[in-house]
Amino acid sequence: MQIEDVKLAVIGLGYVGLPLAVEFGKHRPVVGFDINDERVAELRRGSDRTLEVDDAELAQATGLSVTSDTSALASANVFIVTVPTPIDAYKQPDLTPLIRASETLGKVLKRGDIVIYESTVYPGATEEVCVPVLASVSGLRFNEEFFVGYSPERINPGDKKHRLTTIKKVTSGSTPEVADLVDTLYGQIITAGTHKAPSIRVAEAAKVIENTQRDVNIALINELALIFNRLGIDTQAVLEAAETKWNFLSFRPGLVGGHCIGVDPYYLTHKAQAIGYHPEIILAGRRLNDSMGAYVASQLVKAMTQRCIQVQGARILVMGLTFKENCPDLRNTRVVDIIQELGEYSVRVDVYDPWVDPESAKNEYGIELVTDLSEGDYDGIVLAVGHRQFAEMGLDAIRALGRPQHVLYDLKYLFDANDVDLRL
């Protein structure tokens, strides 16, 4: 296949797939496929609820047509799969969306077609899990009648500086010729350039260690914060001092959620354990980061007790529910850990987040968001997410939400240490 022969389809139009389909749609015809009829209808109306693509940019993708009809995929010969790869309740990889997408493509796969996967997986998953499904359903022979590629996504939700086109793209293919084609295809839209990995397994491994490295680094800073809190030292002040050294890596303590950093390490540890190796550092980092929500809740309760604030029956306001600031993404948010832990103390928790659709919060986590804040109502306030609206409210307005005697816990360092009661 030559690059001019490519007829493209993108499978999955979420945080990863939509920006990709839109960017390609500015340059060539693209079929954007999603199984969610409501999502397709929304995009056809020219709006993206994830806010990753604004209405004007969506309108510029004149080559993009979106559909939930699998028959529309038959016209394509290159398919890019961008479905989620979550973990289950036991923190094991859940490849169900990936397998189902592969089954769907297997039904329309033709001789010479290429399937490119972007979903985060463990090294080997593309060829060990996806390829057998494609081959079984299609009846075609791998690397003779159909081919695959892997180009890991690097989308950072809510980041308006580091966008799809400005982040270097890792590419790979199941044969040298396919690797060249995949690299050339992405090179048409990625202004930052591409890096062609020597194999699919290398590209898979590169992706999964990117977020594993961040997870371990944040775990270290979280542990340091626990130590400094016991020593009565402000963690932020320590980090600012340490950052004066040129090679000190800048990280901040906090909750580690989202669909990447809080999930991807479990894909790597799953594969490591499957081959008989028990990863010590990675799992230790995961355990520590997963414990931070409970730690925050316990610190808040301790501070309230020290101020003689009745804990049982108290009212707590948690400001922010998304996994990060200035985006509506609720996937794997660890703010829920704080909420659930506070519930164990028989307190009433109100959650406020101007970025979140109330229906989504209820469907995902059973949380009823409050939409109006009343002054003087709360015994404790937790600034859990650093949304710009909270910074713009200012310290006085946030303090006014609390009763005369209350505790303000600033997880995101929005305000000066001397003006809040608790920080990590």
Q: 219: part of which helix (H) or strand (E)?
A: helix 200-231
CA dihedral sign of residues 140, 143, 144, 146: positive
Return all residues near 161 (Cβ < 8 A) that are at least 6 apart: none
Give 262's DSSP letter.
T
Question: Per-residue DSSP letters for 93-120?
Answer: B--HHHHHHHHHHHTT--TTEEEEE-S-
The 3-state DSSP composition of the chain as helix, strand, coil percent (nearest 5) reads 45, 15, 40
How many whole angstroms separate alpha carbon 385 and alpha carbon 383? 6
Cα 296 to chain centroid distance, Å, stands at: 22
What is the biggest distance separating any 2 CA atoms in the chain, rounded to whole angstroms?
Answer: 73
Name the residue among 376, 365, 367 with its Cα closest to residue 406. 376
Which among 130, 260, 308, 327 is annotated as catalytic? 260
Active site residue 260: yes
Are the C-beta atoms of 39 and 62 separated by less than 8 Å? no
Amino acid letter, 9: A
How many whole angstroms separate alpha carbon 355 and alpha carbon 349? 18
Name the residue among 350, 352, 351, 346 with its Cα closest to residue 314. 346
Give the N- to C-terminal CA distance of the chain in Å, as an integer: 55
Other C-beta atoms within 10 Å of 245: how many? 7
How many whole angstroms separate alpha carbon 102 and alpha carbon 122? 17
Q: 337: part of which helix (H) or strand (E)?
A: helix 335-343
Give 369's DSSP letter.
B
Give me the residue label for tokens 């077609």.
113
Phi and psi for 170 in degrees, rounded to 5? -85, 135
Give me the residue label for tokens 């999502």.
39
CA dihedral sign of residues 23, 24, 27, 33: negative
- Catalogue the active-site residues: 260
